[in-house]
Amino acid sequence: MIEAAAERLAGRARRTPLLSSPVLNDLAGRQVFLKAECLQHTGSFKFRGAWNAVSALNPTGVIAFSSGNHAQGVALSARIKGIPAVIIMPADAPAIKIDNTRNLGAEVILYDRATEDRDEIGARLAAERGLTLIKPFDMAEVIAGQGTTGLEIADQAAELGVGDGQVFVPCGGGGLTSGIALALEARAPGLRVHPCEPEGFDDVARSQATGRLERNSRLSGSICDAIVTPQAGDLTWPVIQRLCGLGCVVTEEQALKAMGLAHDWLKVVLEPGGAVALAAALFSGGSGPVIAVASGGNVDRAMMIRALKI
Amino acid sequence: MIEAAAERLAGRARRTPLLSSPVLNDLAGRQVFLKAECLQHTGSFKFRGAWNAVSALNPTGVIAFSSGNHAQGVALSARIKGIPAVIIMPADAPAIKIDNTRNLGAEVILYDRATEDRDEIGARLAAERGLTLIKPFDMAEVIAGQGTTGLEIADQAAELGVGDGQVFVPCGGGGLTSGIALALEARAPGLRVHPCEPEGFDDVARSQATGRLERNSRLSGSICDAIVTPQAGDLTWPVIQRLCGLGCVVTEEQALKAMGLAHDWLKVVLEPGGAVALAAALFSGGSGPVIAVASGGNVDRAMMIRALKI
């Protein structure tokens, strides 16, 4: 499925570069590479899974729940396909994310988190209008699309002569993590995926420790909002459990520092959630080559200024 | 020479991506693409020309005058080649640029701009130590190396189906501008290069108007320091005169705005001088596809914060 996704994404998604800097290598005491998915269309890897799902399922219209990167990936995919997209967002989502999603041609339906049930709204609209739900991570076509990032990593690592090493991936619901892990299992088994999470939202690391699917106690209050989800998915968790090495947990301050260092030395813009893997690569003290995936760069200016002032 | 340079750079330089955003297209009222040379090794296109010169001339040691991006390109090239590099910098150059050049393994020799003659210092050191001078722009091997950017633009534009359009290039001494113009003359004659300069340092635009090589009256005081030179070169100017369309001149405020928009929508970090071509693409009001070259991203945090607050 990942190979089929790569064919669908050819010429549509960007083959994002693998960046590095001697300064960051010295800082980390190891070779550090950044897979810059912040340079993907819509500013995050989410376009890959969304386009693969839209392209494979051939729906007449799509619907998604998201206040962030998934919304934009689905909206752009629908626009390219020429079909309607409905995105259900909380009314208190940041205005810029609502605007961005509308600018991509989607119909945004706002709901009140306190008084309305988004699943009920979604089910009703899907039935009324014949829309296909594109889930943010727990859907085979979406995981396969995200997995194309792993095929590129396998090729790019081989070009650099890196056969063995760690691959750090920002992990929320686990779509990107499991997709990359499946791709590398087949193409570059010497590269081991480690999920990376922010402190306080480390459900996957805890799940790896206990051997069963753990949940986060909080669902808001992190600057790493892009990768905060209640728990990993029914499809993604078994893959993570089978294929991934131990998870890394970083502090918000480490994520902000990684954003500043990516600005200084790699010239890319990361959002806090997209910087947790780079933070783990720089500050967790391991050895040997590490490829950190920068999952997204949709950060507002105030947050970037905060990162640059740390 | 450009094709030979491309062979020398294969696997050494990055093939930088051509980025775009629907938001920027809407803002400019035309299709805008950014050739992101800020993602090149050392954060600017300068590595291309430096590596090609070092690789083609096979010197036993190199020397360069530069306080900025050329210094880092030469230093990294020498380090890869395993030969000594001496960089002559003014003692009042920013500490970070001196540090970066030293971190890349170069010997930095500081001189006092008021009391010492850098050419005399350079000539003496070159003779004493058998070092080869790598000029910042007026040298065939350097122009050929920068021209490889143009070969990539020709391929990438063809992949996107863009056969006719403008190519905006930040222009100081004209090495990048003339190199790209020569590459496109052969490979994509429908793409026309236009040099872009900051207001007050528009010697090339004035030279195009008068038909003879004009000089800048000032040599400092621009935030676009990376592209401020006294005048274009004896090799670069005739190429610019023969092949380029009229130059664009942008204000410093427009360059800063372009930096902010590149942060928001393309997720890349530009320095002011590296943003003048994007500024011209966004704000000059032309029509048809335009490819803006982002020549570099070596900006300090304070300047980026300034751009983000505009």
What share of chain B in percent tops pLDDT 70? 100
Least confident range from A173-182, B120-129, B220-229: namely: B220-229
Dist. CA B54–CA B45, nearest whole Å: 15
**What average pLDDT does range A286-306 have in this prediction?**
96
Least confident range from A126-130, A218-222, A248-252: namely: A218-222
What share of chain A in percent tops pLDDT 70? 100
pLDDT of residue A283: 97
Question: What mean pLDDT, rounded, does chain B reach?
Answer: 95
pLDDT of residue A113: 78
Q: Which fold has domain A2-45+139-309?
A: Rossmann fold (3.40.50)
Is pLDDT of B243 > 90? yes
pLDDT of residue B67: 73
CA nearest to B156 within chain A: A11
Least confident range from A54-68, A164-178, A232-246, B35-49: namely: A54-68
pLDDT of residue B17: 97
Is pLDDT of A67 > 80? no
Quickly state the pLDDT bin for A263 (edges 50, 70, 90): very high
Q: Residue ranges of the domains in chain A? A: 2-45+139-309, 46-133
pLDDT of residue B118: 82
pLDDT in tens, B296-305: 999 999 999 9
Neighboring chain A residues of B266 at a CB cutoff of 8 Å: 39
Residue type at position B17: P
pLDDT in tens, A39-53: 999 999 999 999 999
**DSSP letters spanning B237-275:** HHHHHHH----EEE-HHHHHHHHHHIIIII-B---TGGG
Neighboring chain A residues of B26 at a CB cutoff of 8 Å: 103
Q: Given an 8 Å threshold on Cβ–Cβ distance, is B14 in contact with A17?
A: yes
Q: Given an 8 Å threshold on Cβ–Cβ distance, is B267 in contact with A22?
A: no
CA distance A306 to chain B (A): 9
Quickly state the pLDDT bin for A72 (edges 50, 70, 90): very high
pLDDT in tens, A75-110: 999 999 999 999 999 888 777 788 889 999 999 999
For residues A69 and A137, the answer to whether their CB atoms sit within 8 Å is no
pLDDT of residue A97: 80
Least confident range from A31-35, A90-94, A224-228, B265-269: namely: A90-94
Q: Given an 8 Å threshold on Cβ–Cβ distance, is B159 in contact with A11?
A: yes
Check CB contact of A19 with chain B, cutoff 8 Å: yes
Quickly state the pLDDT bin for B145 (edges 50, 70, 90): very high
**What average pLDDT does range B256-273 have in this prediction?**
97
Check CB contact of A16 with chain B, cutoff 8 Å: yes
Quickly state the pLDDT bin for B212 (edges 50, 70, 90): very high
pLDDT of residue B66: 86
- Residue A252 in tokens: 């918000």
Check CB contact of A161 with chain B, cutoff 8 Å: no
Q: A46-133, which class in CATH? A: alpha beta
Query: What distances in angstroms separate CA B246 from CA B243, B251, B279, one per listed residue?
Result: 10, 17, 16
Choose among A244, A61, A103: nearest CA to A168. A244
Q: Given an 8 Å threshold on Cβ–Cβ distance, is B267 in contact with A104?
A: no
Quickly state the pLDDT bin for A304 (edges 50, 70, 90): very high
pLDDT in tens, A266-283: 999 999 999 999 999 999
H helices present in B105-261, as ranges: 118-129, 140-159, 175-187, 203-210, 236-243, 252-261
pLDDT of residue B124: 92
What residues does B65 pair with on adjacent strands? B88
Neighboring chain B residues of A260 at a CB cutoff of 8 Å: 301
Quickly state the pLDDT bin for B34 (edges 50, 70, 90): very high
Choose among A80, A52, A39, A47: nearest CA to A66. A47
CA distance A55 to chain B (A): 20
pLDDT in tens, B54-113: 999 999 999 999 878 999 999 999 999 999 999 999 888 777 788 889 999 999 999 887
Q: Burial of B124 by CB count in 10 Å (0-12 exposed, 13-18 middle, 19+ buried)?
A: exposed
Dist. CA A303–CA B262, nearest whole Å: 16
CA distance A279 to chain B (A): 18
Q: Given an 8 Å threshold on Cβ–Cβ distance, is A266 in contact with B39?
A: yes
pLDDT of residue B228: 86
| Residue ranges of B 253-292 with Cβ closer than 8 A to chain A | 260, 263-270
Check CB contact of B19 with chain A, cutoff 8 Å: yes
The pair phi, psi for residue A186, each rounded to 5°, is: -85, -40
CA distance A117 to chain B (A): 32
pLDDT of residue B269: 98
Dist. CA A57–CA A74, nearest whole Å: 13
- Residue B266 in tokens: 């393309």
Query: What distances in angstroms separate CA A246 from CA A193, A205, A249, one per listed residue?
Result: 9, 7, 10
Check CB contact of A105 with chain B, cutoff 8 Å: no
Interface test with chain B among A38, A40, A267, by most B beta carbons within 10 Å: A267
pLDDT in tens, A126-181: 999 999 999 999 999 999 999 999 999 999 999 999 999 999 999 999 999 999 99
CA nearest to A306 within chain B: B305
**What average pLDDT does range A180-206 have in this prediction?**
97
Longest dimension (CA), chain A: 58
Whether A2-45+139-309 and A46-133 share one fold: the answer is yes
Question: What mean pLDDT, rounded, does chain A reach?
Answer: 95
pLDDT of residue A221: 83
